[in-house]
């Protein structure tokens, strides 16, 4: 059985591959990457590195050839770009005769009002339409997405948010990676949807835990979207990013990530890493 992970040099993808190598021989694993030179470390471990570019379907035909089980890690970019790229990957998987597709989606994707939901809705539908058995890994929110705010708190800045009382199911990338690796390797995940969410917390609740980890009180500054946009601009975020980060805050405020689930435990066979432990790991890594 040959497994393949796309986007294997990215932050999540590299952790998935690391997890897979603990349970399968390197000879059973291939990766599809846009820039094979960046995957030289994997090649030296015996992983087959293949060139695959979501913008060039012919490269995907070669990359996916002979693959039994495929993990498509969602790409970065605007919604239109992601929909096109993901569709290319799904169609290539069908042409290659792939027997199982796992895909990293978004919390409650098909019902979500999150501004990032449309590519995931389109990709899930495209995968279902192939008739290939699948598993949708509906990842809630990476705790690592908050590193900028955590660094600010370390430097003495307040935690700024316009998310109000919206709750998020934060978990660390390592847990998401191990869940993806488990689903890719194990049988019995055919035609499943996993809502991978940690315990639900508001911004204040998360910051309270972070304060305990850091041993200091961190003020939370609740602002409106306009003020949040001004503050983010003042921190040097590019203009095109501002509507995205504001939209994320609005999506959280409107409950798009408030998905309660124990699917992590089902897939991992253990509880999700407690948020205080996960925050401690992040703080240690960036300090």
Mean pLDDT, rounded, for 43-64 = 97
Mean pLDDT, rounded, for 267-283 = 97
* Per-residue confidence band for 287, with pLDDT thresholds at 50, 70 and 90: confident
- Per the CB < 8 A criterion, the answer to whether 117 and 85 are in contact is no
10 Å Cβ neighbour count for 149? 19
Pairing of strands 69-72, 100-106: parallel
Domains of the chain: 3-140+172-197+260-273 (3.40.50.720)
Q: How far is the C-alpha of 103 from the C-alpha of 63, rounded, in Å?
A: 17
Rounded to whole angstroms, the maximal C-alpha distance in the chain is 56
Q: What percent of the chain has pLDDT over 70?
A: 100
pLDDT at 67: 98
- Per the CB < 8 A criterion, the answer to whether 195 and 272 are in contact is no
* Per-residue confidence band for 31, with pLDDT thresholds at 50, 70 and 90: very high
**Residue 85 scores a pLDDT above 90:** yes
**Residue 4 scores a pLDDT above 90:** yes
DSSP codes joined into one string, the chain: --EEEESTTSHHHHHHHHHHTTTS-GGGEEEEES-GGGGHHHHHTTPEEEE-BTTBHHHHHHHTTT-SEEEEPPPPS-HHHHHHHHHHHHHHHHHHT-SEEEEEEETTGGG---TTHHHHHHHHHHHHHHT--EEEEEE-EEGGGGHHHHHHHHTT--EEE--TT--B-EE-HHHHHHHHHHHHHSSS-TTEEEEE----B-HHHHHHHHHHHHTS---EEE--HHHHHHHHHHTT--TTTHHHHHHHHHHHHTTTT-----HHHHHHSSPPPPHHHHHHHHHHHH-
* Per-residue confidence band for 63, with pLDDT thresholds at 50, 70 and 90: very high
Tokens 């501002």 identify what position? 242
pLDDT digits (tens, 9 = 90+) for 124-148: 999 999 999 999 999 999 999 999 9
pLDDT at 129: 98
pLDDT at 195: 98
pLDDT digits (tens, 9 = 90+) for 173-203: 999 999 999 999 999 999 999 999 999 999 9
10 Å Cβ neighbour count for 191? 11
pLDDT at 274: 97
**Residue 160 scores a pLDDT above 90:** yes
Q: How far is the C-alpha of 181 from the C-alpha of 135, rounded, in Å?
A: 12
Number of residues in the chain: 287
Give the CA radius of gyration of the chain. Answer: 19
Q: Which two tokens stand for residue 246?
A: 């504001």
pLDDT at 89: 98
Q: How far is the C-alpha of 88 from the C-alpha of 58, rounded, in Å?
A: 10
């Amino acid at each position: 059985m040959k497994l393949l992970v796309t986007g294997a040099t990215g932050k999540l993808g590299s952790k998935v591959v690391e997890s897979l190598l603990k349970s399968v021989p390197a000879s059973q694993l291939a990766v599809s990457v846009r820039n094979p030179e960046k995957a030289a470390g994997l090649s030296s471990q015996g992983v087959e590195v293949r060139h695959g570019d979501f913008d060039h379907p012919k490269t995907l035909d070669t990359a996916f050839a002979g693959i039994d089980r495929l993990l498509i890690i969602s790409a970065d970019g605007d919604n239109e770009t992601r929909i096109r790229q993901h569709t290319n990957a799904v169609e290539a998987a069908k042409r290659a005769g792939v027997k199982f597709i796992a895909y990293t989606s978004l919390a409650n994707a098909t019902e979500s009002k999150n501004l990032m939901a449309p590519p995931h809705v389109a990709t899930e539908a495209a995968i279902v339409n192939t008739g290939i058995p699948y598993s949708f890994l509906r990842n809630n929110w990476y705790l690592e997405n908050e590193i900028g705010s955590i660094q600010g708190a370390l430097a003495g800045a307040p935690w700024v948010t316009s998310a109000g009382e919206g709750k998020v199911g934060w978990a660390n990338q390592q847990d998401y990676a191990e869940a993806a690796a488990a689903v890719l390797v194990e049988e019995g995940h055919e035609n499943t949807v996993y809502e991978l969410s940690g315990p639900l917390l508001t911004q204040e609740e998360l910051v309270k835990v972070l304060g305990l980890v850091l041993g200091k009180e961190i003020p939370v500054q609740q602002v409106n979207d306009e003020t949040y946009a001004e503050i983010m601009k003042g921190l040097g975020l590019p203009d095109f990013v501002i509507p995205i980060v504001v939209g994320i805050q609005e999506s959280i405020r409107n409950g798009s990530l408030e998905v309660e689930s124990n699917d992590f435990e089902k897939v991992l066979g253990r509880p999700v890493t407690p948020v205080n432990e996960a925050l401690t790991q992040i703080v240690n890594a960036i300090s």
